[in-house]
Structure 1
Amino acid sequence: MTRFAPTPYLSAMNPVSKAKRVCNRLLSFIQLYGQHLPLACGMLFSMRCKVVLLRGTINGGDSLSLLYAGRGKNYHYLLKHLFEECEAVEAQKTVLPAYGRHLARLEPQADVVVLDIGWPYHRLINRNGRYLEVPDWLNMDLELADSWEETVRLFRHTTRRQDLRHIRLQGYRCEATSDPAALERFYDTMYLPFIGSRHGHDAVKASRRHVIRRGRQGCLLQIFQEERVVAAGVVYPDDGVLFFLWMGMPADCIEDPPRAAVSALYYFGIRHALDHDLWAVDFTGSRAFLNDGAFRFKRKWGAVADDSFSPSSLLIRPQNGRIAAARFCQRFPVAARRGGTLEGLFLGLDETIDAEWLERLNAQYGCEGIDRVTVVACSGAAGPGDPESAFVEGNVRVIAAGLGDFADHYAKQPAVPWP
């Protein structure tokens, strides 16, 4: 069974039902993370932004010039995820109404342009469809089966073969508590060090009061190795769904975590949901870059990608004729917003796109909830691609392009239609 497949309970919805689901998700998000509501107000009213031309080496070893313009919401994540090392060649502080003149001046020097303007302005900027629209966050959730044995079958094969085995070998056990003192210790000694290490400048820290309140209404799952807690997380049930809200580890475990400790937290969390007759586990947000570590980790537990976590988008446009831009697209596949659904977008540079290549792609990145897949088959030549190599089969579309026009096929809705 292909893992690039429509999610039945999402794809069958009509637009009104989908809109209601998004609204319900937004209300639930505000309820769960109420202290983040001021961030939404900031997204609406904050006009300050910056335009930065970055040059460096992307993860994988290739050189890249990237032009960033935005309000900084995803800036540090992009630096960490995309670059091994980089420097800011030029940086300008400005405001939204004036950023365009800096963008126009610096764009010729860039291989790739990324706009991080955010909700609600990104749709106005991209009304002509010039940029690829990528959610800044996706939701990831797992619909549980009727029994534990059937739920385990939803996990990916490597998870069943490796992670579950290591959890047994390490002797992990789980204890649930709602004790305020345990929640206080978790917040100070696990949650704050963990979120600071993982998210750095992008970290949005939950308040102590809010974490303790949700922990008392739900519980704190503590993963023990012998007599020591090596990982923990606050989970909270709401309307039949167990939400994984916040997790953490002791500071001395963050850089070199005990083997499969985080896997144990997910494993026992899923069991906790089944034991309490819940129907789903919500792993909350992940990035829409398909090689992002958190996305791939949640995917292996059978999680489904769902575009209902954030209304904001990153707008991405590679530049035609630039080999560095093509390599960027090849190294960083994304889940894009297209036609009201999630579409996996990949680029093959001077590669033969055949059934074997697509099967490898599916094994590495496949995730249910990504309804369809577009592969831009790009030749290194400046001319257009070979039209004979383009095809549409099921939910996979292959588009032929050359180095001189690949960005048009990548960023805009391709001319090859879906059946």
Structure 2
Amino acid sequence: MIPPTWRYVWNNSADPRIVRAHTLADAAVTARPRVTLSWPDGEGLVLAYGGLPQGLTHVLPFLEQQRGTPSHRIRRGTTWTALVSGRAAPGADILSVGVLRDRVPERLPRHRLLLPFRVTLGVPVGPDPQEVLRRLSRKARQQHSRELRSHRRTLEVATGEKGFAFFYDDMHRPTMANRHGDSARSEDRESARVCLFQRGVLFFLRESDRRVAGMLCRLEGRTLVIRLAGVDQGSDQAYGSGTYLAMYVLILQWAAEHGLTRVDLSGCEPFLSKGIFQFKRKMHPEVVLPSNHFANKRLLLQVRRDTPSVRDFLAANPLLGFGPEQGFEAVYFHDDDRPPRLDLRWSCPGVQGHRLVDLDDFLAGLPGPSRRTSAVHPHLP
């Protein structure tokens, strides 16, 4: 069995030696890539994902969630040539391919976009705790101050094993199960205890002297990395009451008071429709490539068919692509019937601006709806 410390370092370390080794291992694992096709109950968008295996937990579940219907999958072997050309999934409307950076084609064909595989959101902090509040919008500041008093909110730093057990078993695990179900991803209990609790800080948010939420963080030099979170028994009520925002603000202020220089809010997939991106954007974080092995990974998004469901999906899910210079740009799709989702905001340090893409132009030349038949399912080739 791999020790939890080794496994954590392998998956999260920014050490250049570990990153290089991880990249070499990824290249070996994907020498014979596989592709997974995902289709919905009834009519609807057919998705496919191939390449780097991390996409089966970081990319495809999010795309399936945004499609909004129960999913059915099959997985099969393929080749890189077939993946990059799109031939690996002829029945898919949208094919996403996770690739190492050095496998990205020099020139992208039409109907394809190059995205970061993941992005990291981080907040620089200085010695003044009040600077944290100034990062928030006026409305968010007022809500935080008002609820801090009315709910009698305070921040607790816990040190005992009982505190860890309460957080992991009664907060984190129920929250992950309630919010993400089978697609939940996290650290196992022993890894969380050894690699986070023993090498970091466990915070609880107390309301009227009762623990209602917690966050388990790792200390890496003068950076505090927020890794795991949860609310008491996974309650939905906490998500609508400002509990998480209050906890983030108090932790950022704690970091400022204790001489830290940065709080890593962790990362997410490169889509503005990702709820965690929109929530953490309230703290005006910097958007950067991850410092670990994900820095060498890219996501090729290939649109293969022009259908109403494809247009609906692209318009509903603006994304973060690479800008013309260093940094990212927000990309919004639209047409005459689908206005750009500018309500999903992009403004953060590291995102240079936004671009509007007309779907009529982007999808020009692609085949439209067609009948797809299969002995397995009518939506597969």
Query: How far does residue 197 in structure 1 lie from its aligned partner after superposition?
Result: 4.1
Does the CA contact (< 8 Å) of 2:281 and 2:348 recur in 1? yes
Matched, 1:93 2:76: yes
Matched, 1:205 2:180: no
Return the match for 2:333 from 342, 347, 353: 347
Task: Tell me: CA distance 1:261–1:105, structure 2 relative to 1, closer, same or farther (3 Å).
Answer: closer
Cα distance in 1 between the residues matched to 2:184 and 2:20? 16
Does the CA contact (< 8 Å) of 2:238 and 2:244 recur in 1? no
Relative to the length of structure 1, the TM-score reads 0.69
2:279 aligns to what?
297
Does the CA contact (< 8 Å) of 2:49 and 2:95 recur in 1? yes
2:364 aligns to what?
404
Cα distance in 2 between the residues matched to 1:56 and 1:28? 32
Matched, 1:124 2:103: yes
Task: Tell me: CA distance 1:150–1:362, structure 2 relative to 1, closer, same or farther (3 Å).
Answer: farther
Query: How far does residue 179 in structure 1 lie from its aligned partner after superposition?
Result: 1.9
2:94 aligns to what?
112
Task: Tell me: CA distance 1:40–1:207, structure 2 relative to 1, closer, same or farther (3 Å).
Answer: farther
Task: Tell me: CA distance 1:172–1:195, structure 2 relative to 1, closer, same or farther (3 Å).
Answer: same
Query: How far does residue 86 in structure 1 lie from its aligned partner after superposition?
Result: 4.2
Q: Aligned ranges for residues 132-281 of structure 1 at < 5 Å?
A: 132-199=113-180, 200-201=182-183, 203-253=185-235, 257=239, 259-281=241-263
Question: What SS class does the counterpart of residue 64 from structure 1 fall into?
Answer: coil
Matched, 1:331 2:331: no
Query: How far does residue 319 in structure 1 lie from its aligned partner after superposition?
Result: 3.3
Relative to the length of structure 2, the TM-score reads 0.76
Does the CA contact (< 8 Å) of 1:321 and 1:403 recur in 2? yes
Cα distance in 2 between the residues matched to 1:193 and 1:45? 36
Matched, 1:84 2:43: no
Does the CA contact (< 8 Å) of 1:376 and 1:406 recur in 2? no
Query: How far does residue 291 in structure 1 lie from its aligned partner after superposition?
Result: 1.5
Does the CA contact (< 8 Å) of 1:329 and 1:347 recur in 2? yes
Letter in 2 for 1:51: V
Matched, 1:374 2:355: yes
Letter in 1 for 2:298: S
Does the CA contact (< 8 Å) of 1:174 and 1:268 recur in 2? yes
Q: Aligned ranges for residues 314-325 of structure 1 at < 5 Å?
A: 314-319=299-304, 321-325=306-310
Does the CA contact (< 8 Å) of 1:69 and 1:103 recur in 2? no
- What are the superposed Cα offsets for residues 363-401 of structure 1, whole Å, 9 maximum, x if unpaired? 73322211232211345xxxxxxxxxxxxxxxxxxxxx3
Does the CA contact (< 8 Å) of 1:77 and 1:202 recur in 2? no
Query: How far does residue 92 in structure 1 lie from its aligned partner after superposition?
Result: 3.6
Matched, 1:364 2:351: no
Structure 1: segments with no counterpart, 5+ residues: 1-25, 380-400, 408-419
% identical equivalent positions = 18
Query: How far does residue 214 in structure 1 lie from its aligned partner after superposition?
Result: 3.3
Cα distance in 2 between the residues matched to 1:51 and 1:153? 46
Does the CA contact (< 8 Å) of 1:51 and 1:94 recur in 2? yes
Query: How far does residue 335 in structure 1 lie from its aligned partner after superposition?
Result: 0.7
Letter in 2 for 1:233: M
Cα distance in 2 between the residues matched to 1:264 and 1:183? 21
Does the CA contact (< 8 Å) of 1:51 and 1:99 recur in 2? no
Letter in 1 for 2:286: V
Query: How far does residue 38 in structure 1 lie from its aligned partner after superposition?
Result: 9.8
Task: Tell me: CA distance 1:133–1:218, structure 2 relative to 1, closer, same or farther (3 Å).
Answer: same
Letter in 1 for 2:364: G
- What are the superposed Cα offsets for residues 15-39 of structure 1, whole Å, 9 maximum, x if unpaired? xxxxxxxxxxx9994179xx99997
Cα distance in 2 between the residues matched to 1:164 and 1:146? 20
Cα distance in 2 between the residues matched to 1:245 and 1:402? 38
Task: Tell me: CA distance 1:232–1:37, structure 2 relative to 1, closer, same or farther (3 Å).
Answer: farther
Query: How far does residue 151 in structure 1 lie from its aligned partner after superposition?
Result: 2.7
Does the CA contact (< 8 Å) of 2:45 and 2:310 recur in 1? yes
1:395 aligns to what?
none
Cα distance in 1 between the residues matched to 2:184 and 2:34? 16
Cα distance in 2 between the residues matched to 1:273 and 1:332? 34
Cα distance in 1 between the residues matched to 2:29 and 2:232? 36
Query: How far does residue 269 in structure 1 lie from its aligned partner after superposition?
Result: 0.4
Cα distance in 2 between the residues matched to 1:87 and 1:213? 34
Cα distance in 2 between the residues matched to 1:84 and 1:352? 18
